[in-house]
Amino acid sequence: MDKIKMITPLVEMDGDEMTRILWQMIKEELLLPFIDLKTEYYDLGLEHRNETDDQVTVDSAEATKKYGVAVKCATITPNAARMEEYHLKEMWKSPNGTIRAILDGTVFRAPIVVKGIEPCVKNWEKPITIARHAYGDIYKNVEIKVPGAGKAELVFTAEDGAVTKETIHVFQGAGILQGVHNTDASIGSFARACFNYALDTKQDLWFGAKDTISKKYDHDFKDIFQEIYDEEYKDKFEAAGIEYFYSLIDDIVARVMKAKGGFIWACKNYDGDVMSDMVSSAFGSLAMMTSVLVSPTGVYEYEAAHGTVQRHYYKHLKGEETSTNSVATIFAWTGALRKRGELDGIHELMEFADKLEKATLATIEAGKMTKDLALITSLGNVTVLNSGDFIKEIRRTFESV
Ligand code: NAP
Ligand code: MG
């Protein structure tokens, strides 16, 4: 059989620890035997980020803008322990944060639903897609540790020199301070990405923030969404038979728990970070959550929602067997290959992506899975496979149909 040819390269962003090991296995077993894989490779592994003063992350984001589609492996976000472990020159920022800021995109995360893995929330019958605003708020903050008594002020100096000033707090002793921001342009892009994605996938869109307490900051989000909806999307939503509604974040959380699923939940940056972990774990496993960053200009970056699975990597380094779930990383590749196929008009590539996803799910439904899924499955007669054997089993399923 001839290998599938590609036209435009995918931007390939390699990563860290256990997911870096899976990355290699997925390429060798599931991709390279079938595709003349064309990628522009960027090594976002922490060592190489450190060597390049994190320039490689910026370069990979720029390449994504240029080519339009990227696939990314999970990467370490350094903390104090990683500074020592990797002898870092600096505590480099989260690569995902850097890439999101450059692409000004929105992250959509949806669980991969498979027979035999039932959500903990019994009434969730359909996937819940979380749209996370990928710019600003605490992810672009400035912070001060206040050493002692003094006055904190919020100051804005306009280009013409006009000054707006508010007292934040008069400190009597030590404390903490944080400055956060967002821009109307980014909130507008976020809103449009959500409305477009809702129309594409024919799902209702829910949005929640805390406008009753944050009367200017969160209220701005609410107003921008409503304006854009009324002006650009109301008619299209009505024609498609779908709904947009805004409510307080607490009310939204309460409603989500009672809902059936099958909608998009738009979240501010922090809410999306936290709630996507809750939704994914309730749907089964972090390892069954897909993630795609979509920019307002239509650039796509696909990845798994989980991290580098550090605990499994340390076992792997000690020569112990691991049973790490590669499904979300496989779906990152299939998502990216399908999109590349769609943009370049390569039907074989799109069919390949569909077929590999089906083979992955069929493998699990046949009772062959990694330990994380075996612990929660409702299927009887389960075989727990190690990291490598699970991927080999998917290949066997893929080649048998
Ligand atoms: P994690 O890598 O998501 O893993 C947390 C735990 O979840 C694991 O210890 C494992 O539980 C389970 N798990 C996650 N993915 C799994 C998979 N594919 N198969 C089986 N089990 C899985 O989060 P973390 O340990 O908090 O973070 C590790 C590193 O990842 C950190 O350096 C962090 O900065 C980074 N991170 C990167 C991204 C990203 O690049 N998108 C996202 C999040 C975190 P058990 O140990 O119980 O088996
Ligand atoms: Mg998170």
Whole-model pTM: value is 0.85
**Looking at residue 205, what is its pLDDT?**
98
Q: Mark whether 76 and 199 lie in a shared domain.
A: no
**Looking at residue 276, what is its pLDDT?**
85
CB of residue 286 inside a 6 A radius of ligand 1: yes
Q: Mark whether 133 and 278 lie in a shared domain.
A: yes
**Looking at residue 30, what is its pLDDT?**
98
**Looking at residue 294, what is its pLDDT?**
85
Give the number of other Cβ atoms within 10 Å of residue 240's Cβ: 14
Q: Mark whether 313 and 388 lie in a shared domain.
A: yes
HSE, side-chain direction, 13 A CA sphere, residue 67: 25
**Looking at residue 280, what is its pLDDT?**
82
CB of residue 308 inside a 6 A radius of ligand 1: yes
Total domains in the chain come to: 3
Q: Mark whether 106 and 13 lie in a shared domain.
A: yes
**Looking at residue 234, what is its pLDDT?**
97
308: enclosing H helix or E strand: none
CATH number for the domain spanning 354: value is: 3.40.718.10
Q: Mark whether 244 and 129 lie in a shared domain.
A: yes
Calculated CA dihedral for residues 387, 24, 327, 304, nearest 10 degrees: 130
Q: How far apart are the first and last CA of the chain?
A: 14
Q: Could you give phi then psi for residue 188, rounded to 5 degrees?
A: -65, -40
How close is the Cα of 273 to the center of ligand 2, in Å?
4
Q: Mark whether 165 and 278 lie in a shared domain.
A: no
| Domain edge (last residue) among 129, 153, 179 | 179
| Domain edge (last residue) among 255, 283, 311 | 283
Structural contact between residues 267 and 133, judged by C-beta atoms closer than 8 angstroms: yes
CB of residue 85 inside a 6 A radius of ligand 1: no
Q: Mark whether 51 and 133 lie in a shared domain.
A: no
How close is the Cα of 287 to the center of ligand 1, in Å?
8
The secondary structure of residue 375, as a DSSP letter, is: T
**Looking at residue 233, what is its pLDDT?**
96
Rounded distance between C-alpha atoms, residue 362 and residue 359, angstroms: 5
Q: Mark whether 97 and 5 lie in a shared domain.
A: yes
What's the domain range around 250?
118-137+182-283
Q: Mark whether 264 and 357 lie in a shared domain.
A: no
CB of residue 242 inside a 6 A radius of ligand 1: no
Q: Mark whether 249 and 260 lie in a shared domain.
A: yes
- Ligand 1: residue of 84, 306, 324, 375 to mutate (most ligand atoms within 8 A of CB) is 306
Q: Mark whether 381 and 311 lie in a shared domain.
A: yes
Q: Could you give phi then psi for residue 176, rounded to 5 degrees?
A: -140, 155
Q: Could you give phi then psi for residue 163, rounded to 5 degrees?
A: -115, 130
**Looking at residue 242, what is its pLDDT?**
98
List the one residue out of 27, 28, 38 whose CA is nearest residue 4. Answer: 38
Structural contact between residues 335 and 354, judged by C-beta atoms closer than 8 angstroms: no
| Domain edge (last residue) among 283, 306, 341 | 283
Closest CA to ligand 1's atom 34:
77
Rounded distance between C-alpha atoms, residue 14 and residue 24, angstroms: 9
Q: Mark whether 174 and 186 lie in a shared domain.
A: no
CATH number for the domain spanning 198: value is: 3.90.190
CB of residue 306 inside a 6 A radius of ligand 1: yes
**Looking at residue 394, what is its pLDDT?**
98
Per-residue pLDDT of the chain (401 residues; tens, 9 = 90+): 789 999 999 999 999 999 999 999 999 999 999 999 999 999 999 999 999 999 999 999 999 999 999 999 999 999 999 999 999 999 999 999 899 889 878 889 989 989 998 888 989 989 999 999 978 999 999 999 999 999 999 999 999 999 999 999 999 999 999 999 999 999 999 999 899 889 877 999 999 999 999 999 999 999 999 999 999 999 999 999 999 999 999 999 999 999 999 999 999 999 998 998 889 888 877 789 888 898 877 799 999 989 999 999 999 999 999 999 999 999 999 999 999 999 999 999 999 999 999 999 999 999 999 999 999 999 999 999 999 999 999 999 999 98
- Ligand 1: residue of 23, 280, 286 to mutate (most ligand atoms within 8 A of CB) is 286
CB of residue 324 inside a 6 A radius of ligand 1: yes
**Looking at residue 355, what is its pLDDT?**
98
Give the number of other Cβ atoms within 10 Å of residue 371's Cβ: 17
HSE, side-chain direction, 13 A CA sphere, residue 141: 12
CB of residue 309 inside a 6 A radius of ligand 1: yes
Q: By CB neighbour count within 10 A (0-12 exposed, 13-18 middle, 19+ buried), where does 312 fall?
A: buried
How close is the Cα of 204 to the center of ligand 1, in Å?
30
Please give the single-letter amino acid code of residue 54: D
Q: Could you give phi then psi for residue 201, rounded to 5 degrees?
A: -100, 5
